[in-house]
Structure 1
Amino acid sequence: MKLEDIGIIQKEQGIIKKDGIYFHTSSKFAKNNLFYLLWGAKYTCTPLYKVNRTNVFDALLFFFILDGQLDFYYRDKNFIAKNNDIVLLNNNYPNYYKATKKTTFYWFHFNGFASKQYEERFFTEHGPIFSEQSCLFFEHIHTILKEQNANDDEISSIIHQIFTQLSLYLHPKIKYSLPILKSKSYIDTHFMKDICIDDIASIAQLSKFHFSRQFHSEIGISPYTYLLKVRLDYAKKRLSESNDSIESIAESICFYSSSNFIRIFKKIYAYDTFTIS
């Protein structure tokens, strides 16, 4: 039995407008090495529309909700997808979804490369639904499916960009307390001056002891180590982009012994490809 015979829902009810289903035939190379498309469409549905997929098959499924609402049950989770939401399902698990009002959405089945690993990671660390997303990638996918004018590398790139977009949910922007934010900013802008931990603690308006402990708790390293890192990152950039002498670079970041600078630099960047001598 062909994959589409397992994955295509026969005689779907409640669809009042249907753009698709469009199929894509991927190369053997794409199936072995890339993300690749199977089929997809754009639907507008009424509350009569529902899918209860119990016959699992080896593919994944993306939705983008343009307008309306779909209710889902997937891997023991109930959730609702609304305007500008993306939903990711693995069809190796049974899934159920239905429209509860007039709803328009893009969907496409795909597979390949690290698809299942991405889905498992997202489901475990975030869940299957992502809110406030852009529909541009889904519009693009739908267009190239419809017009049959994209190669497998382009398709893989678009799917990878969707995964990259969603991965931002796994890395929320770090928020620092105001004292640490002020001290970090001070180091970032004054590292070429002869500053010490007492100076930085005064910017944070904390005692040296409490400042050092809080800085390490929020940043993950001591304030001295952070200052050293900022200075050495700057030195590394100048060494790779300029013809300045080691002595002048070391002195510019308050290393008054070039031999000490070289020793610490080599210790920190022991595995870098360029050399310092």
Structure 2
Amino acid sequence: MHTGQAALIDCMDYHLYRTASKKSWTFLWAHIDRNGVSCYAPLLFQDRNDAITLNDPERFTADFQALCYAIEQDVLFSHADISNRLSSMVTHLLSSYLFPEGHGGENPDIEQARKYIQLHCAEALTMDEVAKQFHFSKYHFIRLFKKQVGLPPYEYLIGCRIRLSKKLLCNTSESISAIAIQVGFSSESNFIHQFRTTVGITPGVFRKNSWNFSAD
């Protein structure tokens, strides 16, 4: 989890939480009667079972603090306020889950995943690994990525590799097979196929055309 995230955990199921590093955390938590929120769990965790990036973390925190204050008061009005705050918080979780871009912005986890793919495109990446790295289920990650970036993550990865290969084809004399491995493809034939599919010509023709253009 990161700053500005929240999670709803069914305490009737086995669960464990701890810090990912030796650094300490400061976080807010509450144990809520499942009768009031159990119906939300299937909606929130049908695709994932991890933290949700809140659209408006300040508002969520304010509701949480007001909830704690209302619990301490223990008067008739406070019971109504508790119900109202709980409803607001869980609705916020659900809204952040269903509409992750939130208040006119991007989902920061998807943007970080995009940058990660771009930076590590020459490595042997799989979408399972990238999704896990950013705490998504694979299929939910693919849906969110395509919605925000405009391409499925695998197509974006191929595009990054092709762009990198173009630079090497134009600026080095390395063989096609060497470039294929260098930019992350498993074989020369796979590289040629993906390059022709994306660019419309083979890497060899692209290199020849670029060199002819430079000579002219």
TM bucket, shorter chain: 0.3 to 0.5
User: TM-score, normalization: structure 1?
Assistant: 0.35
Larger radius of gyration: 1
Q: Name whichever structure is richer in helix by fraction.
A: 2
Q: Name whichever structure is richer in strand by fraction.
A: 1
